[in-house]
Each structure stands twice: as structure tokens, then as C-alpha cells.
């Protein structure tokens, strides 16, 4: 019956064949477009991954070359201290002009006091030595008394046992 149908309506059969052919051509083109799109997507994805890895590597290289603030500041630390001292000194010039002479006067006054009180210092030192000697003698006597007391206790214990 199917063969009979095709012979009966030849125009419909031609149109169906043409439609089927067009549909097949469209499906082939669609498959080619999808295949090309998948291929391009994979290439773009691979390229993106490669680009990210290269960027990471460049960042690691840059990080390795990076100078830390601590290392960098050590190079200029003495310079900044010197500049800070210079600016401080310039801000208070009278203080620094008077500092040397005042220091010298203070040292001289201390030296004079040491020299003038030599007798008192010697007397104090002799007194300290006398006191220390007396304490040493006292400690030896206490030690002797303790030793004698210990010996006496032992003898008393022996006597009490009998």
C-alpha cells in the first residue's frame, strides 16, 4: 500500500523527499556547527587554563623578586635616624649648646665631691669592715655553740638510755 501511495501522489512524494533532503542537510550543518563550537570551546578552555597557569607562574616569579619592607627599611634606617637627630638638634639649638658644658660641670662636681669626702668614705669603709668582721666572729661563735649543743644532746640521750 505504501508503494501504491507514492505512485498515487507523486508530487507529495517529491515534496517529502525534498523536505527530507533539506532536513538532512540542515541536520548535517547543525552537527557541523555544534562540533565546531565544541572544538572551539575546548580550545578556549585550554587556552584560558594555560593563561591562568602562566599568570600564576609570573606572580610567583614577581613574589620571589619582591623586597620586603623590613629589608628595604634596613638600608635607610641609619639615614632616617641621622635625619631625625639633625631635625631635633636644629629644633632645640640652645639645649645642645649648653649640654656639653653642663655635662662637664656635673662630672667635675661629682669628682670634687668624691675627693672632698675621701676621709668620710674611708671611715665608712673601715666601719663596714669592722661590722662585717664582728658578724663573722658572731657567726663562728654561734656555729661553735650549736656544735657544742648538738654534742651535749647526744650525750644526754646516751645517758637517758641507761
In a domain, 38, yes or no: yes
Q: Is the pTM of this model over 0.75?
A: no
How much is the pLDDT for 7?
54
CB 89, CB 96: distance < 8 Å: yes
The pLDDT, as a whole number, for residue 1 is 46
In a domain, 115, yes or no: no
- In-domain check, residue 20: no
In a domain, 49, yes or no: yes
Count of Cβ atoms closer than 10 Å to residue 6 Cβ = 14
CA distance 98 to 88: 15
In which residue are the cell numbers 634596613 written?
Answer: 74
pLDDT of 138 reads 94
How many domains does the chain contain in total?
1
In a domain? residue 8: no
| Phi-psi region at 124: left, alpha or beta (left = phi > 0; alpha = psi -120 to 50) | alpha
Distance (Å, whole) CA 94 – CA 83: 19
Q: Which residue has the cell 662630672?
A: 107
Residuewise pLDDT in 10s, the chain (162 residues): 445 555 557 788 888 888 888 888 888 998 999 999 999 989 998 998 999 999 999 999 988 887 777 776 677 777 677 777 788 777 777 776 777 888 889 999 988 888 888 888 888 889 999 999 999 999 999 999 889 888 888 888 888 887
Q: 122 is written with which cell numbers?
A: 674611708
Using CA atoms, how far apart are residues 37 and 102, in angstroms rounded to an integer?
Answer: 90
How many other C-beta atoms are found inside a 10 Å radius of the C-beta of residue 78? Answer: 9
Q: Is residue 144 part of a domain?
A: no
Give the domain extent around 46. 27-66
105 occurs within a structural domain: no
Residues 6, 13 contacting (CB under 8 angstroms) = yes
3 state DSSP class of 66:
coil
For residue 75, tell me if it sits in a domain.
no
Q: What is the grid cell recorded at 21?
A: 533532503
Spatial neighbors of 13 by CB under 8 A, at least 6 apart, are 6
pLDDT of residue 13: 80
Amino acid at each position: 500500500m505504501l508503494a501504491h501511495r507514492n505512485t498515487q501522489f507523486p508530487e507529495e512524494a517529491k515534496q517529502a523527499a525534498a523536505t527530507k533532503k533539506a532536513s538532512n542537510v540542515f541536520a548535517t550543518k547543525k552537527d557541523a556547527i555544534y562540533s565546531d563550537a565544541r572544538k572551539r570551546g575546548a580550545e578556549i578552555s585550554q587556552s584560558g587554563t594555560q593563561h591562568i597557569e602562566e599568570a600564576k607562574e609570573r606572580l610567583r616569579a614577581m613574589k620571589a623578586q619582591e623586597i620586603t619592607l623590613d629589608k628595604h627599611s634596613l638600608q635607610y634606617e641609619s639615614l632616617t635616624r641621622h635625619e631625625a637627630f639633625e631635625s631635633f638638634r636644629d629644633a632645640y639649638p640652645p639645649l645642645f649648646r649648653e649640654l656639653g658644658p653642663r655635662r662637664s660641670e656635673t662630672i667635675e662636681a661629682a669628682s670634687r665631691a668624691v675627693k672632698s669626702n675621701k676621709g668620710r668614705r674611708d671611715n665608712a669603709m673601715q666601719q663596714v669592715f669592722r661590722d662585717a668582721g664582728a658578724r663573722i666572729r658572731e657567726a663562728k661563735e654561734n656555729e661553735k655553740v650549736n656544735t657544742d649543743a648538738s654534742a651535749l644532746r647526744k650525750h644526754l640521750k646516751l645517758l637517758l638510755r641507761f
